[in-house]
Structure 1
Amino acid sequence: MKLYRFLSADDTSEFCHKVTEALNKGWVLQGDPTYAYDHAKGVMRCGQAVVKETEGTYTPDIKLGEQ
């Protein structure tokens, strides 16, 4: 099955660590990163889609971050 996640966080090293952790767990970048200004918080936010091929059958109760 193919899994999809969209990672997001403020534009800090936290976001880079989140993406790095996913890559080290076998996730693969999908498309370009995105950036948007969060007016409520007054900060830039980053996002990156990642995908992963894995065994099994998809069900909505799969905890994607644990894959």
Structure 2
Amino acid sequence: MTTPPDGLPVYRVLTGPDDSAFCHRVSEALELGYRLHEGPAVTFDGQRVIVAQAVVWSGRTSG
């Protein structure tokens, strides 16, 4: 596959609270064929940790 599925962009930034739902979103992107771009950015909003992780399309490498 040379382009991301479902019209998704080549570059994406996933953001959200640092919880299992966020980890699942990143894992799903990796399973689709994205790869991590650098490390995550992390901040604290006064109540919870918020994470941002950039991913870039590299195409599906298996499956």
Q: State the TM bucket, normalised to the shorter chain.
A: 0.7 to 0.9
Match of 2:51 among 43, 46, 54: 46
Structure 1 counterpart of 2:43, from 11, 36, 51: 36
Kindly name which structure, 1 or 2, has the bigger radius of gyration based on alpha carbons.
1
| Aligned 8 A contact 2:34 2:55 in 1 | yes
TM-score by length of 1: 0.69
Partner of 1:57: none
1:5-61: CA deviation from partner (whole Å, max 9, x where unpaired): 00011011111001000000000100011110113xx1110110000046xxxxxxx
Structure 1, unmatched stretches of 5+, are 55-67
Which structure's residues are more often strand, by fraction?
1
* Cα distance in 2 between the residues matched to 1:53 and 1:20: 14
Q: Which ranges in structure 2 are unaligned for 5 or more consecutive residues? A: 4-8
**Count of matched residue positions in the alignment of Structure 1 and Structure 2:** 52
RMSD: 1.8
Q: TM (normalized to structure 2)? A: 0.73
Alignment equivalent of 2:29, drawn from 22, 30, 43: 22
